[in-house]
Each structure stands twice: as structure tokens, then as C-alpha cells.
Amino acid sequence: MTEEKKNGVMDKKVSRRNMLKMTGIGAAGIAIGASGMGGILSTFGKDFVAEDDDSTAKNKVNFYGKNQPGITTPAQSNIYFASLTVLVKTKEELQKLFKDWTPAAVKLMNGEKIAAQTNDMVPPPDTGEAKGMDAQNLTLTFGVGPSLFKKFDFGDKKPAELKNLPHFPKDQIEENYSHGDICIQACADDAQVAFHAIRNLVRIASGRVTMKWSQAGFNAVPMTDGKPGTPRNLFAFKDGTENPRGQADADKVVFAQSSETKSWLVGGSYLIARRIQMHLETWDRTALDEQEATFGRHRDSGAPIGKTGEFDAMEIDRKDEKGELVVPDTSHVFLAKSVKSRLLRRSFSYASGVIDSTGAHDAGLLFISFQKDPKQFIEIQNSLGRMDKMNEYITHRGSAVFACFPGVKKGSFIGEALFSTL
């Protein structure tokens, strides 16, 4: 007996397949219109096909789970981050968008094409540039921004904490790297696989969303005995050493628990993205001693100043024989650690050409952090904003906050609980 028959939904599926066949369209829920009709059209039917995580796929991260992938997943070497503006007008259409994205996301994370070509007279359903690649540890993480709740009335489902971040000292935030109704974070060990995922998800949603801004990023991830180490940022320091580790710690810091948030967001997390330009030319004229004092860590080992191991305890109140602080009180780590809040950092470097007015690299950090409440970030950034030595070398140019849904169960779709009373 087929899976479809067991579930008692065969008739619906067969008729849907027949319809797809009759119209010459792929079977994965992605409808391709004749090119004269404008290429990719909306998907058919009210429902969606629940795809399976393929446990035999190589270099594969599971899509389904308690929390979304791409949060506590070890950082891959590439990101393509997209912030989208929603064009549809009703919550039903918005819900349909997430239904359409769900099976496509599973297939992409399996390293599969989103749909097979069944008719050569129409544009290929999958754009094809990831053909021949395995899953490359692709993760897709979906979130919704404060502006979405201005466009759609979700009543008291809107969490009070989901709002644009306040202005911090020295911020030079530009709208074209900021905000958005929906975000999709695609991370993979191959840049083109990450790009392909966003390209196809946006294509499926053609006419229903537009891209507001996007940013590609990269990391050098050193491997030791097959295990990924801490990546270095463009200042050459290991970035991500002091992060929550393990599910229990992540539940404390990263994933909202029931009683801490709206029910649709339990198991979800807030993503904060900051596009931070790093003034590499100034940094490269700075002595190593000064660079290390800026962070409070040694550059090569990543160890706290005065220690040797990357994971040695960072004791910010340690004093030398003269009674002076070993880790300077203006250093990045001292200030980040001197407040109670913690967060999970999962940042990527970027290089996006040249700044016209100065001829400098337009390069820096696509800082991404996950926390159960944006106030964790705000507390740390306020501490840094006032006197962080690193401020001489950076400018924050983009800012966005998104509530990332909890993980998806097979048969359900991304963000289902947000729409549950429709």
C-alpha cells in the first residue's frame, strides 16, 4: 500500500498530479507557466506535499526538528542572507507562501532539485546551478520582521519585543541594508549552493515577494580531525569562541520557551543581523599589541590575554602583580562580558567591492546573533556602544531583527502556528 493510500489522501494527490501532468508542470508543487504567461506562477491546490529528509544524502542537515536548522548548526563556510518585502495582501496568501516554501526547503536541504523537468517547452523548474553538488550542509532558516505585523493584523500574536532595534551610539544605519518583512538565511559549505537556494525560493514566490536587500558572506572554517573549529573574522581573530554550547544552554539563551513568548514562537529565536563595515586599512596600520588589547584575546590562539588556550576561562577581573586588569576594561570582550546577557553569534565576513568616496574595501562582518529576546543583544550593544575600543575600527551600517519560527514537524509547514486560527 502506498504512503498516500495509508494516509487516505490518495484521491486528492492523484487528481493534483493529473492536473500537473495535463498542464505539463513538475510534481513538487512548483508550477511553471508557459513563458508567455510570465514564467514561474503560483503553486496549485490548497495543500502541499510533505517531503522527507533524505537520511542517505551526503553532507546533509535535517530540515525537520524541534528548532529550525542554521541556528545551533555548526557554522558553514558560506551564507546568502535575503530580506524580503511581502507583496501579497491577505493572510491566506501569506500562509500559502510558507506552504509552498516548505517542501522546496526540504528538497534543497536534501541536495535535490526542487522539481523535475517534465516538459521541455517550459523554463526549468529548478534553476540548475547546484546540479552535481551534494547538500553541502545547506540550512535554511526563516523569520518574520516587525514590518510584517504592520501589513497583516495578527492581533495579539504580535510579540511586543518584535520591533526595530533602537539607535545605538555611532550607528550609521542605511535603509538599503536594513529591516524586511521576511528573512531567509541560507548557509552552506558552498557559496553557489547557498545562492541557488535563495534564488529558487524567491523564484517560487515571484509576484508575491520582492527582495529588499541581501548579503553574501564567507568564513574560513579550520578543520581539526574532521571537526570544524572557530572561524576567524577579517581582523584575523577567532570569532565565536564564547558561545552557548549544547541544547540545554541553547534553551537558556537562544530558544524561547513556553511562558517566555507567544505560543507560535515557542522553540523559535530572534535573529539580529547587523551589517558592520570593518575599516581594514586602519586596522592594518595597528600594532599587534594594540589589536589584542582591542579584543582582550590573543590573535593567533584566540586565548584570553595572558593565557594560552582558546577555551581557557575568560576572567575579566583578573589582575596582574601591579594590581592592573589583565584584560583591558575598554576591550570588546571585557565590555561584552560585563553585562549579564548572552547570545549565540553566527557571523560571516563579507566583501562587497569598494566604497566609492574613499576607495576603501566595502568589507566587514555580517554579524548575526540568535537570542530568545532582542533585549539580550540591546544590553550588550549598549555596553559596547559606549566605549568599546573596537568602535575606532568599525561602523554599523545595516540592522534588522526577525522572529525565527520554531522547527517544523513533518506534515506541518513553516510558521504554521502563526496562522493556526485562520
Return the half-sphere exposure (C-beta side, CA atoms, 13 A cut-off) of residue 24: 9
Answer yes or no whether residue 380 interacts with ligand HEM by CB under 6 A.
yes
Answer for the pair 171, 277: CB distance below 8 angstroms, yes or no.
Answer: no
Three-class DSSP category at 365: strand
Answer yes or no whether residue 401 interacts with ligand HEM by CB under 6 A.
no
Answer yes or no whether residue 239 interacts with ligand HEM by CB under 6 A.
yes
- 249 secondary structure, DSSP code: H
Of the candidates 337, 346, 372, 397, which one interacts with ligand HEM according to CB under 6 A?
337
Give 122 or 250: the residue with its C-beta nearer to ligand HEM: 250
Answer yes or no whether residue 278 interacts with ligand HEM by CB under 6 A.
yes
Give me the phi and psi of 82, to 5 degrees please: -125, 135
Give me the least distance between CB of 368 and ligand HEM, in Å please.
10
Three-class DSSP category at 187: strand
Of the candidates 25, 79, 205, 333, which one interacts with ligand HEM according to CB under 6 A?
333
Give me the least distance between CB of 240 and ligand HEM, in Å please.
5
Answer for the pair 297, 389: CB distance below 8 angstroms, yes or no.
Answer: no
| Nine cell digits for residue 315 | 576572567
Strands (E) in 110-167, as ranges, are 139-144
> Among the candidate windows 19-27, 63-71, 178-186, 380-388, which touches ligand HEM by CB under 6 A?
380-388
Of the candidates 148, 197, 336, 404, which one interacts with ligand HEM according to CB under 6 A?
336
Of the candidates 136, 349, 371, 381, which one interacts with ligand HEM according to CB under 6 A?
381
Question: Rounded to an integer, what distance in angstroms lies between the CA atom of residue 151 and that of residue 154?
Answer: 9
Of the candidates 107, 297, 307, 397, which one interacts with ligand HEM according to CB under 6 A?
297
Q: Within positions 172 to 211, which residues make up the interface with ligand HEM, using CB under 6 A?
A: none
Give me the least distance between CB of 349 and ligand HEM, in Å please.
9
> Among the candidate windows 5-13, 128-136, 354-362, 374-382, which touches ligand HEM by CB under 6 A?
374-382
Answer yes or no whether residue 404 interacts with ligand HEM by CB under 6 A.
no
Answer for the pair 191, 74: CB distance below 8 angstroms, yes or no.
Answer: no
Which helix (H) or strand (E) segment is 99 a member of? Answer: helix 91-110
Q: How many Å is the maximal CA-CA distance in the chain?
A: 83
Answer yes or no whether residue 238 interacts with ligand HEM by CB under 6 A.
yes
Count of residues binding ligand HEM (CB under 6 A)?
28
Give me the phi and psi of 173, to 5 degrees please: -75, 135
Give 181 or 242: the residue with its C-beta nearer to ligand HEM: 242
> Among the candidate windows 13-21, 87-95, 251-259, 333-341, which touches ligand HEM by CB under 6 A?
333-341
Answer for the pair 23, 42: CB distance below 8 angstroms, yes or no.
Answer: no
Give 293 or 394: the residue with its C-beta nearer to ligand HEM: 394
DSSP string for residues in 281-346: HHHTTS-HHHHHHHHTB-TTT-PBTT---TTS---TT-B-TTS-BSS-TTSHHHHHHTSS---EE-
Give me the phi and psi of 228, to 5 degrees please: -70, 135
Three-class DSSP category at 330: coil
Three-class DSSP category at 399: strand
Of the candidates 81, 142, 177, 235, which one interacts with ligand HEM according to CB under 6 A?
235
Answer yes or no whether residue 335 interacts with ligand HEM by CB under 6 A.
no
Question: Rounded to an integer, what distance in angstroms lies between the CA atom of residue 140 and that of residue 106?
Answer: 9
Of the candidates 147, 200, 233, 399, which one interacts with ligand HEM according to CB under 6 A?
233
Instruction: Name the one residue in this structure whose C-alpha cell is 545547506.
Output: 138
- 35 secondary structure, DSSP code: G
Answer yes or no whether residue 377 interacts with ligand HEM by CB under 6 A.
yes
Of the candidates 13, 60, 332, 346, which one interacts with ligand HEM according to CB under 6 A?
332
Answer yes or no whether residue 295 interacts with ligand HEM by CB under 6 A.
yes
Which residues contact ligand HEM (rule: CB under 6 A)?
Answer: 233, 235, 237-242, 274, 276, 278, 295, 297, 314, 332-333, 336-337, 343, 345, 364-365, 367, 377, 380-381, 384, 394
